[in-house]
Structure 1
Amino acid sequence: MASPNGSGCSELIQSSGSEQELQHLMDRKRKRMISNRDSARRSRMRKQKHQDELASQLSQLRKQNNEMMSSVSITTQHYMVVEAQNHVLRVQVAELSRHLDSLNNIIGFMYPPVEEQIYCPELVDEFMNNSLSYVYANQQIMASANTFM
């Protein structure tokens, strides 16, 4: 026959075994929960660091963009100034070319080739009186596109 003490003893051993298992499961659950919290905290920290890096990069790219826009604006202004100067120079070249042609026509009229010489003292005297120098009247004026560049 089984004594009440013997059966009670085995129940205590069984209950203490399940308490130990229960305690072990609780410890594992608590460790896992702590580990998950730490992992979530590290994940939030990585995410925050990544967001900070992206914000820094955005700020740097905006600064570079502003610098480039400023540079483009300055370059455009310089281009417009040079284009305006170029236009003025082209107009001056055209005007000086017409003036040169006129002067060459006058010289050609005053000193035509020997076979076509017609002497008109009134025109020669008027030109000489209005010219800067007699020396220049005897020289043909030549110009090329390179002269004005």
Structure 2
Amino acid sequence: MASSSGTSSGSSLLQNSGSEEDLQALMDQRKRKRMISNRESARRSRMRKQKHLDELVAQVAQLSNENQQIVTSVNSTTQQYLNVEAENSVLRAQVGELSHRLQSLNEIINILDASNGSFGVEESSTFFEPADSFFNPLNMGYLNQPIMASTDILLQY
């Protein structure tokens, strides 16, 4: 009987060591699953980061292209502004010159009107026409003359 009790205690020892091995195997299996899961998670994280980086690179390219188009548009608009400003300066100079001419012509008219009363009828007809005929377009001789223009002048506009 003593030997049977020793055998039974030895088998329980084997069962304990077997369950410890099973427990160790189970822990190793869980550890391997966790490592595989962590590796997969890290791979997905790297893929997300790479995708985000690719999207940012594409966005940089798009924004650079838009920026270049805006710079080109600003340069074109600036050039147009400078051209209009130059043309405006020319027109202002022409307005000044035409205003001066108009003032001079008005002074001539005033002088002619003033001198019309001081001269006799015979003398005034030899120097100039009466004031009424000055403003009558049918009596103006220069209206009957042809206007000459060259093709060079027409091609400027």
Q: Smaller-chain TM-score range? A: 0.7 to 0.9
Q: Give the drift of 1:4.
A: 3.2
**Counterpart Cα distance in 2 of 1:67 and 1:93:** 38
**Counterpart Cα distance in 1 of 2:20 and 2:115:** 135
Q: Give the drift of 1:81.
A: 0.1
Letter in 1 for 2:118: I
Letter in 2 for 1:63: N
User: Is 1:138 the counterpart of 2:135 in the alignment?
Assistant: yes
**Counterpart Cα distance in 2 of 1:138 and 1:50:** 82
Any conservation in 2 of the 1:110–1:119 contact (CA below 8 Å)?
A: no
Partner of 2:146: none
Partner of 1:18: 20
Spell out, residue by residue over 1:126-146, the C-alpha distance to the aligned partner (whole angstroms, 9 max, x if none).
x67xxxxx95x236xxxxxxx
Ranked by relative contact order (alpha carbons within 8 Å, sequence separation 6 or more), the top structure is 1
**Counterpart Cα distance in 2 of 1:21 and 1:97:** 110
Letter in 1 for 2:89: H
Structure 2 spans left out of the alignment, 5+ residues: 137-157
**Counterpart Cα distance in 1 of 2:9 and 2:108:** 145
User: Is 1:119 the counterpart of 2:116 in the alignment?
Assistant: no
Letter in 2 for 1:42: R
Structure 1 spans left out of the alignment, 5+ residues: 129-133, 140-149
Any conservation in 2 of the 1:112–1:118 contact (CA below 8 Å)?
A: yes
Q: Give the drift of 1:12.
A: 1.0
Structure 1 segment 1-149 matched on structure 2, within 5 A? 1=2, 3-112=5-114, 117-119=117-119, 121=123, 125=127, 135=133, 137-138=134-135
> How many aligned positions are there?
130
**Counterpart Cα distance in 2 of 1:72 and 1:7:** 95
Q: Secondary structure at the match of 1:104?
A: helix
% of aligned pairs identical?
A: 47
Q: Give the drift of 1:17.
A: 0.2
Q: Give the drift of 1:11.
A: 1.3
Spell out, residue by residue over 1:32-84, the C-alpha distance to the aligned partner (whole angstroms, 9 max, x if none).
00000000000000000000000011110000000000000000000000000
**Counterpart Cα distance in 1 of 2:76 and 2:103:** 40
RMSD after superposition: 2.5
Normalised by the length of structure 1, the TM-score is 0.78
Normalised by the length of structure 2, the TM-score is 0.74
